[in-house]
Structure formats: C-alpha cells, structure tokens
A and B are shown apart, each in its own frame.
Chain A
C-alpha cells in the first residue's frame, strides 16, 4: 500500500533522510520509531504531499507522491505532530468543515457521530480555544478519520494524552486496522509500538536500520546473557541496542 524507496531529504546542509526504504502492507499497522530529530515527521510530510523529497520515490496505493499528489490526497489522511484544528470554531464546526471539504453529503451527521465516538459530545458546541490538550488531540484525530481514507498517517498520536485517552486512541487505531485501513504511525512510546504495530521500523542516521515484527527484532537482539531470572528483552532494550550498534 505504501512503498518508499531511497528517499532522501536535506534541509540546507542538514541531510535528514539518506535513503529511506519502507513498505507498508495493506491493512497493517507500521510504527516508525526514532529519536528526536531522526526525521519521522519529515517522512510523513513527504508521504502526505506537504514536502518534496530530494531523491527517491514514494507511492501510496500505486500513486507516486511527486507526480500524482491529487490522487494521493484522495487516499490519505494526516494527523500531524501538532494538532491542526481551528481554534475559533467549535469542535462540531471543525468536523463539519472537514466533512464539507471532503464533499460528504451528511456533514452534520458525520460530525455528531465522531463527537460521540471521541467523547466530545458535551464539548462539541464550545470553541476549541477552550479545549484541553487531550481534547484537542482527540478532535484532531477525529478530523482525520472523516471520509474513511484507506491510508492514515499518525504523527505521535498519543503524545500528551492521559492513559485513558491513550487507550481510547489505541482502540480506535486497532478498529481502523480491522476495517482494512493501512496505518503508518510514529511514536516515542515503545509500549505503544509494541501494542499496536504489526511491524516496527527504526529510523536512525537517515535510514531504516531495522524493520520487522517485534519477534524478528527480538531475534536481532544479542541472546540474553545468563541471568538468575530469564527475561525477555523489552522493545526499549532492543531499540537502544540497535541504535547503539549503528552509532
């Protein structure tokens, strides 16, 4: 569904992506891990047609992001790292706005349904400027689901959410994947990747240095030295070990 090959991107002298290869199968959830500044957001922006790559190709549902951006935009939806909501409108108005821009018939019904699903019905008529960070994030994600795009990008979807809201977002993401939506998400939380992702890709030094299921990544991890208690490596340990080796 998503195929990225040899993607490169520099900001001035700073080479952020130096040949990223990544495949995401239809209906799967892939988590992109990486330290701050690794270039996760840059990858998503290129895939969402907001940035142009310097080299390499990326296709989504067969459409090249560089040559068929309009078709790509019909296919995808992006929840950016920072909530992109209209502060001056109410939550409901934000949802109706996006539904209208996606040319849906029943914009108001779609909005009310999403308000209910994201526990925002009571706040629906209030201006978003009065929302808490978590409410804003939930609204932001809700706005991205409008129109049921087959591919969804989530850039750190649960950063700043309380544990209960995180659970709710996870449940939503899992439900989307069950319905066949392809999801590429970035996260700083390794437990989140462990819980949600079918595959995990680690972006480091401008390349994907590891890509596989959790079990495959565990096999990459040096066999546990004999300890008094046998212990499975956590994803966090795997992550740090892989980054350490590459550095």
Chain B
C-alpha cells in the first residue's frame, strides 16, 4: 500500500515536494514511508442495478501524467469524480496523498476541470475565475496575474470581460482550464480537457499540460483522443465498460497489445467488397475508413507484396503505402474491438 523510500534514495525531488509539505514521516530504520499520490482500490460504482465501474484500481505513485483512455460511457467521468471524493463508490477506497479526498486540505491541492464546463453563464470570464480563486484562497492580485497569463496563452484574454454566455464551446473549455489551474495545484484532474477545441488550441493546451508536468505536477486526465494520450501520458489506462483492461506506457501498450506492424494504404475511389474480403482472409485485420486502409500484419516484408497484389487484382488504385508502427488506436481496437474516433 505504501511505498517506501529510503532517505538516501534518488528521489530528493519527490521527498521535497511530498514529505516536507505534507506527509507523515514514519521513521523505520532510516526509511520514510510515503503514501501514493492517488490510490483508488477496488472501485465499484452501481447506478441502480447497472455497473458503471466494476472493480477499478488506479494507483499513481509519483508525479506523472496518467491518461484514462476509453470510449463514451466507459466510466471515465465516474472514476474521476469518485477519486475527487465528489461521488462516493458503491465499494472500494480512495486516498489522495494518504488522506480522504473530501478533506478540504486535500481539495485545495487538486485542480479539477470537469467535463461539463461548470461556469456561471451570466458572469464574465474574470468573475468566474476570480470566484474560484477565492474559493481556493488565492489572493486576488496573484489570481489576476495568473488568469491573465493563462488566458493570454490560451488566446482568450480579450474574452475575459465578456459574459460566458457569449463564449463558444472551445472558449468555455479554455476558461474552465484556467479555473482548474488557478491555484497552481499539485494534482490536476482533467476530464476530457480538449473536447470541442480546434487542433491549434488542442496543441496549446497540450503544451500547457506538459509544462505543468515538467514542474513536477501529477496530471490525471481522461480522453478519447489517442493522440492526446500518446503525446501527453507517461501511463495510459485503457478503460472499457467500467474496467481498466490494460495499463502501461504508450510504448508498452503498443508492444504488448498492438500488432507487430501496420500497413497503411491510401487508395483512390474506395475499396470494393471483393478485394476487402480477400484481404481479410489473408491478414489478421483490416480497417477501412473512406480512402484509407489499415492492415495489421506480423511481418511487413512478407505482406506488403501480398497486399499490393490483391488490391491490384481487384483494380484498386493505390495512392500511397506506408509501413507503420501501431498506434494506441490499434491497441484499443484490438482490445475492445471498437474505435474511438470517427
């Protein structure tokens, strides 16, 4: 349950952040016992007779970015609200830095960006952000500075004076992020932080998150964007139907659960069904979306000629062909048989 560090280990940074600020230092022959940053064990959540979570363990021992990746209804939001102590689990336990997540002392160290923006529509950006600053006990001057800096980065500085009701979805998401970051918390819980943003904004948010990560923050986020998990996460938990079905670094997951290689073929005018049928009989799996084919194979050297040959025979015109390593999407598809993005 507890992780033991010896006082002489190579974790001076963690020890600084965690020991000094918080935590029980239990000397056991020169050793210090540190609680996990986030520790959720055996979480079960039932709504009526339906399970939203069926026994989830999520443990984050040291500062990192952890991404919960899963399709709609997988149970991501439910798990996050239970970890935050907002909802209570049907069974199971949650500890944050060894303490009850409902403890105000713990809450003041967590930033939460909910999936719903959770903003007051008739207040302007400033008023919304400053309210949360006050709730977190951030001095107004300091808060203003921080809000300005973040808003500038996210490109909504001008909009701060406007009522939130006039914001676009992406702008609301950005303000919501500012609020989550307002008290410079040690732990950030972000429920789908980039949903509804254009690709440019998404990049900006990713940069922001990576910056926090570099500062040694712990970030727990949920997403159904593969690329987001791949870019940001040190660790990814794939969640489906209320269970974490695989966990590891993106690389680990790809090697463990992905195919050896993926042949991606760009075609013109789509693929006819006969060609697809024959392909599927020869390889492990074929994914089709419009003019794009993804063919899962073990040995690309062997299969590239086979694939091109079949396509050629059925008169499919190839525009380009690349041999790739698998992505998280391929992992997810193999594990769940479902795709996340359209």
Our verdict on whether A and B bind, yes or no, reads no
